[in-house]
């Protein structure tokens, strides 16, 4: 799970290296209702940050992310943030509590670190699929074949090809 998570983050970092252009990184994409690659990247980063910041206390709240504009508009800042996530991601499993708001109620669920790393992996892949739409609109086509595709889909496609 950690190796797949790090591989997925590496794919995103590789893509950011190719973009190297804050204009494309922060350009509104019509196909994504005006969202940007930077907004999707920031969202990925901040969920991982919430998880890592909550590890020691055992309390994670994804709703209380920072929404850091700098990560959203500055490709090199996002690259640095992803690098830091990779360095801290591999940790022992432990019980966690997830806090969230549902309507007007505060809620809490039990979870654990490994389950939340997996959630973040799936969440990252989902947003990479959206980023792929943006890249195609920007005519940036040099990306990993499996970028934005869930591991289960990759496995299924391999089975169908046999």
| pLDDT per residue as tens digits for the range 129-145 | 999 999 989 888 777 77
- Domains along the chain with CATH numbers: 2-161 (1.20.120)
Structural element, H or E, at residue 108: strand 105-112
Place of tokens 């901040």: 46
Write the CB contacts of 53 (distance below 8 Å, at least 6 apart in sequence). none
β-bridge mates for residue 50, sequence order: none
pLDDT at 90: 97
Place of tokens 């109620």: 105
The answer to whether residue 33 scores a pLDDT higher than 90 is yes
Average pLDDT over residues 119-136: 94
**pTM of the entire predicted model:** 0.91
The answer to whether residue 72 scores a pLDDT higher than 70 is yes
């Amino acid at each position: 799970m950690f190796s797949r998570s790090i591989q997925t983050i590496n794919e995103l970092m590789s893509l950011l290296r190719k973009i190297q252009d804050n204009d494309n990184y922060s350009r509104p994409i019509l196909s994504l209702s005006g969202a940007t690659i930077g907004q999707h990247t920031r969202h990925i980063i901040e969920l991982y940050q919430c998880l890592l910041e909550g590890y020691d206390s055992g309390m994670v709240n994804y709703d209380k992310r920072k929404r850091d504009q700098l990560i959203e508009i500055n490709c090199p800042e996002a690259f640095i943030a992803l690098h830091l996530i990779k360095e801290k991601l591999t940790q022992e499993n432990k019980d966690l509590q997830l806090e969230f708001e549902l309507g007007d109620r505060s809620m809490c669920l039990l979870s654990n670190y490994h389950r939340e790393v997996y959630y973040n992996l799936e969440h990252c892949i989902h947003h990479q699929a959206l980023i792929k739409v943006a890249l195609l609109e920007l005519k940036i086509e040099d990306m990993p074949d499996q970028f934005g595709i869930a591991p289960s889909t990759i496995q299924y496609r391999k089975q169908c090809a046999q």
